[in-house]
Every structure is written in structure tokens, then in C-alpha cells.
Copies of this chain bind each other. A is one copy, B any other.
Amino acid sequence: MLEKIRPKAEDRKRLKEAADAILSRIEGLARERGHNFKALLVGSGARSTWLAGDHDLDLFIAVPDGADLKDALELARLVAPVHQEKYAEHAYIHASVDGFEVDIVPCYHVLNASCLRSAVDRTPFHTQYITSRITGLEDHVLLLKQFMKGVGVYGSELRTGGFSGYLSEILVLRYGSFLGVLEAASGWHPGETIDLEGHCAQAHEEPLVVVDPVDPYRNVAAALTLDKMFQFVAASRCYLARPEIEMFFPLGENVLTDQEIIGRMRERGSHMLLVEFKAPDVVEDVLFPQLRKAEESARAMLERHGFRALRSDVYQAAGLAGMLFEMEVAELPAVSKRFGPPAWEGEHLSRFLSAHIQKLSGPYLEDGRAVIEVRRKYTQAWKLLDKEILNLALGKHIAAQIRAGYRIYYDIEILEVKDLEFRTFLSRYFKAHHKIC
């Protein structure tokens, strides 16, 4: 098992060499230009806790207070002439070098982690904290990371909302071993708190609170969602009850065929409603919160009009992004009740009644309130969404894309979307299966 996930000696050597080469080129260039910059390898590459097959290198260029991050970015550009410029809190560089996916990130060199100028400034402190303590526990970290991957909770990007690498390392430090973490997690409740350095946690609202050893004000598990946390908890319980290697390496997912999708839809009898548009050109950590917000806003609108969604989800695939709603109630009769004020508010009542001359029946009283039955504006969920989509609370990037164009697929029409990434998303949607027990 470990054979499979532990990087081989030659891979470690290659990674070390690649990192060193870039680091010394950066420092060389910095010296030439008179910059007092420090280049560092951070992340799992720095402490032998990366999973075999991962080829990510995180390199930071720390600039002293008063210096300009732009100068560091310039060095990064020179070191990796073929690159993409990306943007989180600040700009950084992504490039492929010698088979490695390299991020080169400018940051401020601060004296301790509580006087950060930006979130990335914290990373070198993490590296330092873990590196000095993890020796001898690396395999446990590897097992835990692979287990989290296998059960679908690894990755702290906002798309996943799972456990970060740093978080998994802290858990191993706290509980001493892979199995120790699983055993502890089996008994977790919402609000669980881990405070390695006894910093005394600030009040956090998140379901899991892990006080950052290098920054007492920060919850390392802030991005972890309640559901991902307890997917891990429930999966830990499964594994302890019956350890199975498949939990680390789940069998390949099969993507449903057209016929199977039709079968699922018939079996369920619900109505699928898909809104698809061009994905805006932003990183996932910007895109997914906006997608989720649009999804929630759309669901609230559907419910407000009397429709009912069973489930919904969002995706990004092949340059497109979208929201999928599985409707339990997708059509409604024309008649709809409009509730007015209580009958004892005479003036409001008159105003309500004179505003609703057009009616199917009423007025009558129900629980003391006036009711008029009127013709419903939208009797079909897809039409409501089609007409009102731009009135939803949409993030600015998504609003711009939707304004430029979108398409609604209803029921069987979703088969027109052939893209494999979408079909994988859809197949997962239908199975909606997590390893829990």
C-alpha cells in the first residue's frame, strides 16, 4: 500500500533537484538585481509528504518589508518564461518545468505569522512548523491523505470544501498516527476543537476548529464544510469496522451511458433542469462560491414561486459552467393564493383588495387574513428560471456570462450535453453515493 503512495527515492531526488535548480536561479537573479529576496520550497514537497504521482512544486519568493512584490513576480517570469499568470490575493506564476507543475508565489517575509500582510505570507511558517515535527510520521500523513482522497474529502479549495494537506499533517501530529486520526475522528461532533499549541481558540463558527499553530486567530479548517467533515468521520468508522483497500483507491467510476441516464430519469420520475453558460475566466476558488450563490438564489426563487427542488448541484466542464436542479415539483396549476393583510388592518385590506381586481376567486379570509386567488405568472419552473435568471443574486463574473448567453436544458434535453466531464458530474449526481456507515 505504502509502496504505491510513497514517492520513490529517485522521484524525491528529481523533485529536490528541480526545486533547487529553480530556487538558486531565483536567488541568483535577485542578487544580480540587488534584491534581498529569499526563495523557499514550501508545501508537501518540502517535507516528503507528497503522494507519489503528484508533481506539484510550491515555490515562494519572500520579499522584505518595504520591497515590492512586483519585483518578485518579475523574477518568477524570467525563471519560467513559458507560464500562466494567475491571481489569488496577489498575482503569481504557474508553469510546467521538467514535468513538474510549479507555482511561484511572491510573498512578504514577516517576522511572525500574526503580522501577515497577505494570506500566503503564512505558508513559510507552516512549512517550518511541520518540517521540524513531522519526521518519522511522513508515512502516516501519506496514508491519511490518500484515504481522504479515496473517500472524496481531500482538497481545501472552495470547490471541494475538504481537508487541506496542512490540516491532515496537523491531525497526524495531534493523534500520532493514521489510525489514531481515524479513531479520534469517529467520535467527532460539530464544533470539535483541536489546539496543538494551546493558544486558546478564538470563537469560531465552523464545524471543525483547528487553531493554526503559527497563527492563533486562524482556523486551519475554516474551509471544511460540515458535510465533508462528517463524510470523513463516517468513512473513518467504516474503515475501522472493516478495513478495505478500496477506500484508498476506489474502483474506477463508470460514466452512465445515454440509455442508463434515461433509465435513471424514468426510475426517479423527477424533472431535470440544467442552466449552462460559458465559464468565466477566473480560478475555481472564485468561480465556485459564485456558482453556489447562484444555485441557492435560484432555488430560493423556485421555492418562493411554489416549485420544489429535490437536490441541486453546480459544475464546471469544458469551458462551460452550470447549475443542475432536480425538480420534485416542476409544474403548478394556474391558480395561486395571494395572501393579504389581516382583516383588522382596514386600510391595508382596502389597498390589497383594490390592487387585485383581476382574480379567479375570493376574496375570503383564512386565519384572519384576506386571500385572493389569482392566475400564477409562471406555471413551469423552467420558464420562471428562463425569464427571471438575471434577477437572481449572481456574482459579477457569472452575471456577465449569463447576460452574454445561457441555455436551459429540460429533462431529456440534458443528453444533448455530451462532454465527458459533464457526464461524469451527472453520473455522480445520480449515484450520490458516499462511503458512510
**A363 is an interface residue with CB less than 8 A from chain B:** yes
**A437 is an interface residue with CB less than 8 A from chain B:** yes
Interface residues of A in 173-212 (CB under 8 A from B): 186, 188-190, 207
- Chain B residues lying within 8 Å of A306, measured Cβ to Cβ, are 328
Whether the pair B334, A268 counts as a contact (CB closer than 8 A) is yes
Taking the closest CB of chain B, its distance from the CB of A375, in whole angstroms, is: 8
- Chain B residues lying within 8 Å of A364, measured Cβ to Cβ, are 227, 432-434, 436
Whether the pair B346, A237 counts as a contact (CB closer than 8 A) is yes
How far is it, in angstroms, between the C-alpha of A186 and the C-alpha of B190 when the chains are bound?
54
**A289 is an interface residue with CB less than 8 A from chain B:** no
Whether the pair B269, A379 counts as a contact (CB closer than 8 A) is yes
Whether the pair B366, A271 counts as a contact (CB closer than 8 A) is no
**A420 is an interface residue with CB less than 8 A from chain B:** no
Whether the pair A434, B363 counts as a contact (CB closer than 8 A) is yes
Whether the pair A363, B227 counts as a contact (CB closer than 8 A) is no
Interface residues of A in 340-366 (CB under 8 A from B): 342-344, 346, 349-350, 353, 360-366
**A381 is an interface residue with CB less than 8 A from chain B:** no
- Chain B residues lying within 8 Å of A432, measured Cβ to Cβ, are 361-362, 364, 373
- Chain B residues lying within 8 Å of A301, measured Cβ to Cβ, are none
Name the contact of A436 in the complex, choosing from B186, B349, B373, B431 (C-beta under 8 A): B349
Taking the closest CB of chain B, its distance from the CB of A366, in whole angstroms, is: 7
**A231 is an interface residue with CB less than 8 A from chain B:** yes
Whether the pair B226, A367 counts as a contact (CB closer than 8 A) is yes
Whether the pair B337, A310 counts as a contact (CB closer than 8 A) is yes
Task: Bits for A110-143, please: 1 = Cβ < 8 Å to B, else 0.
Answer: 0000000000000000000000000000000000
Whether the pair A365, B434 counts as a contact (CB closer than 8 A) is yes
Q: How many residues of chain A are within 8 Å of chain B by beta carbon?
A: 54
- Chain B residues lying within 8 Å of A436, measured Cβ to Cβ, are 343, 349, 353, 363-365, 370
Task: Given the known inter-chain contacts A190-B344, A335-B270, A360-B267, please indicate yes or no for A349 contacting B234, CB distance below 8 A.
Answer: yes
**A282 is an interface residue with CB less than 8 A from chain B:** no
**A333 is an interface residue with CB less than 8 A from chain B:** yes
Whether the pair A271, B333 counts as a contact (CB closer than 8 A) is yes
Taking the closest CB of chain B, its distance from the CB of A207, in whole angstroms, is: 8
- Chain B residues lying within 8 Å of A334, measured Cβ to Cβ, are 267-270
Whether the pair B343, A230 counts as a contact (CB closer than 8 A) is yes
**A368 is an interface residue with CB less than 8 A from chain B:** yes
How far is it, in angstroms, between the C-alpha of A362 and the C-alpha of B434 when the chains are bound?
7
**A329 is an interface residue with CB less than 8 A from chain B:** yes
Task: Given the known inter-chain contacts A186-B346, A269-B334, A270-B335, please indicate yes or no for A368 contacting B227, CB distance below 8 A.
Answer: yes
Taking the closest CB of chain B, its distance from the CB of A354, in whole angstroms, is: 9
**A430 is an interface residue with CB less than 8 A from chain B:** yes
Task: Bits for A263-282, please: 1 = Cβ < 8 Å to B, else 0.
Answer: 00001111100000000000
How far is it, in angstroms, between the C-alpha of A436 and the C-alpha of B340 when the chains are bound?
12
- Chain B residues lying within 8 Å of A332, measured Cβ to Cβ, are 269, 328-329
- Chain B residues lying within 8 Å of A431, measured Cβ to Cβ, are 361
How far is it, in angstroms, between the C-alpha of A363 and the C-alpha of B434 when the chains are bound?
6
Name the contact of A230 in the complex, choosing from B226, B233, B237, B344 (C-beta under 8 A): B344
Q: Which residues of A contact B (CB under 8 A)?
A: 186, 188-190, 207, 226-227, 230-231, 233-234, 237, 267-271, 306, 308, 310-311, 328-329, 332-335, 337, 342-344, 346, 349-350, 353, 360-368, 370, 373, 379, 430-434, 436-437
12 A–B contacts, CB within 8 A, in A order: A230-B368, A231-B365, A234-B370, A267-B334, A269-B333, A270-B335, A308-B329, A353-B436, A361-B430, A362-B433, A364-B432, A364-B434
